[in-house]
Structure 1
Amino acid sequence: MTSPVNEFLAAVQARLSADAGLVALVGASGLRDRRADRLDLPALVLGTVETRDYSTASEAGVEILMTLEAWSATSRREAEAIAAKARVVLGDAPPMLAGAVLVSLRHRRTVSRREVKTGFFAAEMAFRAVVELTVE
């Protein structure tokens, strides 16, 4: 079995990429797994990912703390609109995993800011996922 974390991240990326409304906001190349210095904006980028053991006495599991960053060169409003759409997309139909069960995927918070050095705007969303590993 592949890593449940990598499988979860791939499923999230696939879910976001499949939404026409989100792609319309950021463009076809606007969904990335990292932010490059010369990234075309607007964009939605995978930020930090932290994993923790979340096993119980009877089930193996992992907790995944993930951030998604919505970036805009134009305005905070645009960054917040991208973030809002991403939250809806991930909340409407949680990504399906093979070899694991996504128990929950919850939005924890969103913090928006203006980057001083670049002048770009970012809305950083924090999510918490719990994945139960299945026995093969």
Structure 2
Amino acid sequence: MSDAILALRAAIQARLTADPALTALIGPGRIHDAAPRAARGLYVVHGDVEARDWSTGSDRGCEQEFVLVVWAAQSASSRQALEAARLIVGALDDAELTLEGHALVNLRWLSSRLAREPRTGLGQLTIRFRAVTETP
């Protein structure tokens, strides 16, 4: 299942990196696997993933629930984080992505949650998605 997670993550990375409106808002190179140290402005981090077997009698499948987190650090506002989330959901909800070694059956937005990180006070917007992939 880890190969399905990696394939989906790579396709999401490619889609979001190629989105001109999102890049204009957050800047280039602002989508990360892990939170960068001392970052300023808006950036997006791939978050938690929960994967489950979604195989049928004839096909191997994987259901994933995953999150992307928009961080509003330093001078960035919650309003900007909400706008970034809107663009991310627009780019990914029901998207047709090409995955290496897997076929995407569906990708749907589940929920979004805006909060402040208690320790640092930074704004964070957590976007939850569900995806199902199959091995062709």
For the criterion TM > 0.5, the same-fold answer is yes
Contact 1:68-1:125 within 8 A present in 2 as well:
yes
Deviates more, 1:80-89 or 1:90-99: 90-99
Write out the 4+ residue segments of structure 1 that deviate beyond 3 Å after TM superposition.
none
Task: Quote the residue 2:5 is aligned against.
Answer: 5
Contact 2:48-2:66 within 8 A present in 1 as well: yes
TM-score, length basis structure 2: 0.90
**Paired positions, count:** 133
Label 1:92 to 1:128 Cα distance change in 2 as closer, same or farther (>3 A): closer
In 2, Cα distance between equivalents of 1:42 and 1:55: 38
Give the match's secondary structure for 1:3.
Answer: helix
The one-letter code matched in structure 2 to 1:86 is I
Match of 2:89 in 1: 87
- Deviation, 1:3, is 1.4
Partner of 1:16: 16
Question: Does residue 59 of structure 2 align to residue 72 of structure 1?
Answer: no
What's 1:120 paired with? 122
Matches within 5 A, 1:31-42: 31-42=31-42
Note the alpha carbon deviations across 1:77-126, whole angstroms, 9 max, x for none. 11111111100011363321132210000000001101232221111000
Q: Among the aligned pairs, what percent are the same residue?
A: 37
Greater shift after overlay, 8-17 or 41-50? 41-50
The answer to whether the 8 A contact 1:30-1:41 is kept is no
Structure 1 unmatched ranges of 5 or more: none
Q: Say if 1:30 and 1:42, in contact at 8 Å, map to a contact too.
A: yes
CA–CA distance in structure 1, aligned partners of residues 110 and 40 of structure 2: 27
Q: Structure 1 pair 130/12, CA: closer, same or farther in 2 (3 Å)?
A: same
3-state secondary structure, aligned to 1:101: strand
Contact kept? 2:66, 2:130, Cα under 8 Å: yes
C-alpha separation in 1, matches of 2:20 and 2:79: 20
| Residues 87 and 47 of structure 1: CA distance in aligned 2, closer, same or farther (over 3 Å) | same
Aligned partners of 2:5 and 2:132: how far apart in 1? 10
